[in-house]
């Protein structure tokens, strides 16, 4: 099959899955629309991946979730919907403008009370969380600057417990991790290798279909 034919097929498969499992959702569609109108970069997870993230949270029965990278709150809505009564999501965002949009989107979705969006450099926020003993979390999702992924992994492990599920987005990068030519691809490759070689983790990279092939790294902190 030609490259154009393969790309077309991947798009059709993605659309097929979305039609089956992701019904129209006013709150999510509004979140995307308002994020776009506010000038936020259109780099949110896809509709199918959002459903996958929510399913992961439901499967592990997550009560406390940490998200590194909020953007407009699209993925946060999925996670917050998976939380039981009394559950909490803490989402870290570098840009105050992004955080404002995310908070508004979460409030419209009726999830404001479940989510705390903190603004600042993720490394500093994570260090403070460790220092203040805010862990452990049941699920941690990394979706921020790719150069920071190896460091975010180290902080995430310090906020985990046996059984914590670690997820990281954009870890195939259209195949760029196979032969990294820039800092983002190199850091992502390093992140995947650390997950693969850490004896305290059991993980895999799952390829995902969107406009191109990307992937999500999935790891579980092993029991002691």
Summarize pLDDT for 202-223 with one digit per residue, the tens: 999 999 987 678 999 999 999 8
Token pair in block for residue 149: 């992924």
Average pLDDT over residues 66-81: 98
For CA atoms 141, 144, 150, 155, the dihedral sign is negative
Q: What percent of the chain has pLDDT over 70?
A: 97
Nearest residue to 83 (alpha-carbon basis) of 107, 53, 108: 53
CATH of the domain at 117: 3.40.50.150
Alpha-carbon gap, residue 74 to 31, rounded angstroms: 6
The values of phi and psi at residue 30, to 5°, are: -70, -35
**In the sheet where 201-209 sits, what is the strand order?**
115-119, 88-93, 64-68, 139-142, 165-169, 213-221, 201-209
DSSP per position, 124-154: HHHHHHHHTT----SEEEE-S-GGGHHHHHH
Report pTM. Answer: 0.95
C-beta neighbour count of 89 within 10 angstroms:
29
Determine contact, residues 139/60, Cβ cutoff 8 Å: yes
Query: Using 50, 70 and 90 to split pLDDT, how confident is the model at 9?
Result: confident
Which structural domain range is residue 166 located in?
3-221
Mean pLDDT confidence for 120-133: 98
Q: How many domains does the chain have?
A: 1
């Amino acid at each position: 099959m030609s490259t154009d034919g393969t790309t077309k097929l991947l798009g059709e498969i993605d659309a097929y899955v979305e039609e089956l499992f992701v019904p129209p959702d006013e709150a999510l569609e509004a979140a995307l629309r308002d994020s776009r109108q506010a000038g936020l970069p259109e780099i949110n997870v896809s509709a199918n991946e959002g459903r996958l993230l929510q399913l992961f949270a439901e499967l592990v029965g997550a009560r406390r979730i940490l998200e590194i990278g909020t953007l407009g709150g699209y993925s946060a809505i999925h996670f917050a919907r998976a939380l039981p009564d009394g559950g909490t999501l803490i989402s870290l965002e570098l840009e105050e403008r992004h955080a404002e949009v995310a908070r508004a989107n979460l409030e419209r979705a009726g999830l404001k009370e479940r989510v705390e969006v903190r603004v600042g450099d993720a490394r500093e926020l994570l260090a403070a969380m460790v220092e203040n003993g805010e862990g452990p979390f049941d699920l941690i999702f990394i979706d921020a600057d790719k150069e920071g992924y190896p460091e975010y992994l180290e902080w995430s492990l310090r906020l985990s417990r046996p059984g914590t599920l670690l997820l990281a987005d954009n870890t195939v990068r259209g195949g760029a991790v196979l032969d990294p030519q820039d800092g983002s691809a190199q850091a992502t490759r390093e992140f995947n290798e650390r997950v693969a070689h850490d004896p305290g983790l059991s993980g895999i990279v799952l390829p995902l279909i969107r406009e191109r092939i990307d992937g999500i790294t999935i790891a579980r902190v092993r029991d002691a």
